[in-house]
Structure 1
């Protein structure tokens, strides 16, 4: 089959990702970050809460290790919007000036729950900053501060891949800005880490062509699997969940996600394991690497098709596994920025091979209900 006959939005976005990260990072200059969040308010923050829906929430999980390591803020939480908006005790908001710093993420700025989060933070005296691509959106107007992404336009309609890269990149730049402002990293360390984001993304560029072709070939068989089961720990969980989400958004396939420990307790027992694809995201320096390898022994014994996305050598894993060896990140917190690319390609090609339109636009019920799912929900401050 001619791969280009099945070209798609996900694949095109994946090819652009290395250079796109550079564009976003270079837009996050000192003046923009300084104006987005004043120095006094950075020092006031005794707690940080990162919140969003879907991919935006996952971006927070991906960036949390960096916030924890450089910000000097001991309490960094990543919460789903519904959890923050409806269940976080209001007594934890505004208990000290500009605390917590609530960082909301919404590319469009129109998602009801994100608007609600910004309004709730303001209502109870917490500080709020929205990362968005629309400074005039309802969520931007509800937030005290806005960090504008300035994504290249016009963007291509489809499941968010570049938008996810933009959110993760912006969060990483913000974390480094906070760490430098609070004196937990030096100016030299700050510059080195910012450059590392760009360089790590760029290190994928020479791999894209081969990855693209290999993923197209895998999609030919993986599209027909009964289920695809994703596994990742801590920040890698964001990559695993993101891969699962892309299956649903591209072709509505059945998918699950878990961490390496709970997988052994729960998903291990899924019936007909030979019909279930397993996708593991792990790296040689992650604290749970040995546990992941133990879990993969069980996957091998079950006979499941398996993809491993890792910076470790292929020899660490069973010979029959499909191993995507990625560049070694100079800092462990960088890995989630790009390791989602293999399954971005696979999900995009799977949808094309199956003849299914993204976001199920091939089915009228999804087209009719799509706009009411998330953007016309009642906003409530509790």
Structure 2
């Protein structure tokens, strides 16, 4: 059997500026003010979707969503919305897994959405390169319409937005504001996750319309619900901050946490774990809800911290059972939930409250907030800034490791 022809591209030089540490105050400000990115992205991206050739969404046999870190988590989070509203088989894969192992074997008629807000993540770029070689249609979802990712895509969805004239989304070390001499507030780039989620939800709704699965009126109602999550984010910050502060102070000496979620909340659990690595620098383990019962259960005992991400939805009954199991084994059961789950809140050792009652499909937009607050408050309780690199070497290696990597093209054998 003939093997793929492998072509190694020249390695691009990493592009980055000077690191700007993010203080606790700056991070809390960023968390509090991220919500307006959602309506801003809707206003920017929806016209782009309506301008696309409808056949791109109407005739695709499969959708694949790929990226790294938060971009990958966004794809996982949106799968349920694609299943429910778009009616297209949709799979989210980490960029290396997709680009090097799946891209060459996608079904005919597939469309691949690659996500990188900076447009410089080498593995995400590579994923689109190999998707195109696998004869899929490639779409870049990015905040950098001239970046490396966009250069490899056949279609570009630009999710960059400005509020009050300021570009939002980029971390401060990658800021592209024109006023280079203007003092900049330290930024972690939290809104990138919201922007990617919002864009993916809009794609799911638009696909449902062009395929006749939902009406335009139903899509408008979904977009309005999407828009309304901005207010729920602001209210969640208000009601959850005291609880996050108290819990962080209570557990500031603890080095490991387990975050559990299912369906869209599996992605939220991954997001929480990532923030605990990046901010307070503790070990956060993400696990699918049911798999915990088969695996991390054996490590659960007195003082074990288990956080359940529990929007109203299909897994509430199982969360209730596993919360009881955690507590019976001596662990601390923390529930992240809203007012629609009073029984869970009453049973939990700690509740991190979420405002309102958002649908399970869209819950990652609002449920990311308690994880952001907890990680920030834990960093403060442990005497750290919200985000800072430990050394110039760590910063440089982080940038170079993500960007300066060999891109490999896998060309299928010629018939």
Residue aligning to 2:97: 83
Residues 266-305 of structure 1 mapped to structure 2, 5 A cutoff: 266-270=295-299, 273-274=302-303, 276-286=304-314, 288-305=315-332
**For 2:396 and 2:313, how far apart are their aligned partners in 1?**
46
Equivalent residue for 1:140, pick from 140, 143, 150 = 150
Structure 1 runs, 4 residues or longer, greater than 6 Å off: none
Residues 158-197 of structure 1 mapped to structure 2, 5 A cutoff: 158-197=187-226
Residue aligning to 2:63: 48
Residues 200-349 of structure 1 mapped to structure 2, 5 A cutoff: 200-270=229-299, 273-274=302-303, 276-286=304-314, 288-311=315-338, 312-317=340-345, 319=347, 321-329=349-357, 331-349=359-377
Deviation at 1:330, TM superposition (A): 5.2
- 2:33 aligned counterpart, secondary structure: helix
Matched, 1:27 2:44: yes
Structure 1: gaps (5+ residues)? 1-5
User: 1:281–1:309: 8 Å Cα contact kept in structure 2?
Assistant: yes
- 1:56 aligned counterpart, secondary structure: helix
User: 2:103–2:134: 8 Å Cα contact kept in structure 1?
Assistant: no
Residue aligning to 1:104: 114
**For 1:165 and 1:175, how far apart are their aligned partners in 2?**
15
In the alignment of these two chains, the number of paired residues is 368
Structure 2: gaps (5+ residues)? 1-22, 173-186, 411-415
Residue aligning to 1:127: 137
TM-score by length of 1: 0.90
Residue aligning to 2:87: 72
Residue aligning to 1:3: none
Q: RMSD value over aligned CA atoms?
A: 2.1
- Encode CA deviations 1:300-324: one digit per residue, 9 max, x unaligned: 1233233211233333355452223
Deviation at 1:234, TM superposition (A): 1.6
**For 2:334 and 2:282, how far apart are their aligned partners in 1?**
17
Residue aligning to 2:18: none
Structure that is richer in helix per residue: 1
**For 1:251 and 1:61, how far apart are their aligned partners in 2?**
25
Larger RCO, structure (CA 8 Å, separation 6 or more): 2
